Structure 1
Amino acid sequence: MVTIGPKSSVAAFDVDAQNCFTPLCPAELPVPEGHEITDALNNQARLAQFRLGSKDAHPENAVWAATQQRPQLSPVIGFENSDLHWNIHAVPGTYGFELLEGLPAVTEYDFFVWKGIEPDIHPYGACFHDHAEKRSTGVVEFLESKDVKTVVVGGLALDYCVKVTVLQLLQSGFRVIVNLAATRALSVDTGHEARKEMEAAGAVFVTNSDEIKVMDEPCPSNWSH
């Protein structure tokens, strides 16, 4: 059991929980069982005062688009904010761009980020637009403004966008809990390596949100019976 809280100091983060990262979109970047995390994301949100979300939002003419000559996961040369070639995914207006069925509308989140709309920029983490982590998306500032101390994270995929987001949050001084029920990895091997990297940086892992206990809110100093 991991104790956090009180609830007013907790945020839940749905990182890139989009159809394009599930078997529902086999031509994009299907993460095995990626479409099965909705309930776990909604459950973890009940522990938090604030719910944040992010989406990849990519143009079809991205410089990192994989081709027969430049296959997926081969390096991108000459662009500092794109490192690997990927299948085109998360194009605004497509089914793949949409959040998983059962998640809130983007307007119902307390804070939401769209990332990677420029054709030469492919970020992974949701806290910064660029790989050098100099151009903030506003996530860190929002959390700080709300006096959030703990962030419970899920989304897709564990070994890429979730991992980098977790590392960015840890580097920014937040306590981070990764909810394994609410995330999936693109592959077993990279998922294992990502978990080791996050744990080494200070992340805590739980099997599901039932393993998280939220402290009671402290009574106001002027409260009396």
Structure 2
Amino acid sequence: MVEIDASDIIAAFDVDAQNCFTPLCPGELPVPEGHSIVGALNAQAELAHWRVGSKDAHPESAIWVASEHCPQLTPIKGQANSDMYWNLHAVPGTRGFELLEGLPAVMDYDFFVWKGVEPDLHPYGACYHDLADTRSTGVIEFLRDRHTDTVLVGGLALDFCVKVTVLQLLNAGFRVIVNLSATRSLTEETERQAMAAMRDAGAEFINSLDELVFSSDPAKEA
């Protein structure tokens, strides 16, 4: 069980919950069962004061698009903000770009991030546009301005964009709880590695929202 003070300000973060990361778009970056997280994302948002989200938004001309000569996951050399080749995904105007059916419209979120728009940018985390974490997307500032204490995180995929977003939020000083029912991973091996990295940085994990306990702090009531 994970305890949260009832007076804490909570945000729910839907990281890249897009069709391109599900079996609905098998030619992009399908995450097994990625399309099954909608209910869990919506449920965690019911507990939150703010709901924020992000999308990959990539041009067809991106320099990191995999090819026969540069297969997916091959490292890219000499680029500051694209570290490896990937299948083309999340192109605006395509089905893969869209949020999973059942999630709110983008403009119904309290704050939303589009990332990777430039051809040479392929960030993973939703808090910064660059891999060095120097160009803020504004979501950290949004959460701080609203005195957020705790962020419940889900989305796709746990072992890449969710992991990096969690690490960025932790580094910014938020308490971060990863809702495992609201996320999925590409592989079991990378999931184990990602969870170890997040846990070492201070992230907490729940298998479902049933493991959250809300309690009052007597010191705050005094």
Which category of TM-score, normalised to the shorter sequence, fits these structures? over 0.9
Aligned position for 2:152: 152
- Deviations 1:86-134, CA, capped at 9 Å, x for gaps: 0000000100000000000001100000000000000000000001111
For 1:20, the aligned partner's letter is C
In the other structure, the counterpart of 2:161 is 161
Secondary structure at the aligned position of 1:30 is classed as: coil
CA distance in 2, matches of 1:171, 1:101: 32
Q: Shift of the alpha carbon at 1:8?
A: 5.6
2:66 aligned residue: 66
Equivalent residue number for residue 186 of structure 2: 186
Q: Moved runs in structure 1, 4+ residues, more than 2 A?
A: 5-8, 213-218
Alignment match, 1:87: 87
- Using the size of structure 1 for normalisation, the TM-score is 0.94
Residue type matched to 1:3 in 2?
A: E
Partner of 2:13: 13
Counterpart of 1:176? 176
Matched ranges for 1:23-172 at <5 A: 23-172=23-172
TM-score of the aligned structures, taking structure 2 as reference length:
0.96
Which range is displaced more, 89-98 or 7-16?
Answer: 7-16
Corresponding residue of 1:210? 210
Aligned-pair RMSD on alpha carbons? 1.5
Q: Is the 8 A contact 2:8 2:150 kept in 1?
A: no
Q: Is the contact made by 2:115 and 2:123 (CA closer than 8 Å) also made in structure 1?
A: yes
Aligned length: 220
What's the offset of the Cα at 1:2? 1.2
Note if contact 2:15-2:161 (Cα within 8 Å) is conserved in structure 1.
Answer: yes
3-state SS, counterpart of residue 214 of structure 1 = strand
SS of the counterpart of 1:107? Answer: helix
SS at match of 1:102: coil
Give CA deviations for 1:132-168 in whole Å, capped at 9, x if unaligned: 1110000110000000010000000000000000000
- Taking the aligned partners of 2:98 and 2:216, their CA distance within structure 1 comes to 36
**Post-superposition shift, 1:209?**
1.2
- Give the Cα–Cα distance (whole angstroms) in 1 for the partners of residues 141 and 80 of structure 2: 25
Is residue 7–residue 47 contact of structure 1 (8 Å, CA) maintained in 2?
no
Shift of 1:214: 3.1
> Identical aligned pairs, as a percentage?
65
Q: Which amino acid aligns with 1:15?
A: V
The CA deviation at 1:6 is 3.1
**Retained in 2: the 8 A contact 1:7–1:48?**
no
The 8 Å contact of residues 11 and 50 in structure 2, kept in 1 or not, is answered as yes
CA distance in 1, matches of 2:205, 2:57: 28
Q: Deviations over 1:43-77 (max 9, x none)?
A: 11111100000000000010000000000000112
Q: Secondary structure at the match of 1:168?
A: helix
Q: What is the rounded CA distance, in whole Å, between the counterparts of 1:217 and 1:37 in structure 2?
A: 32
Q: What SS class does the counterpart of residue 141 from structure 2 fall into?
A: helix
Q: What secondary structure does 1:196 align onto?
A: helix
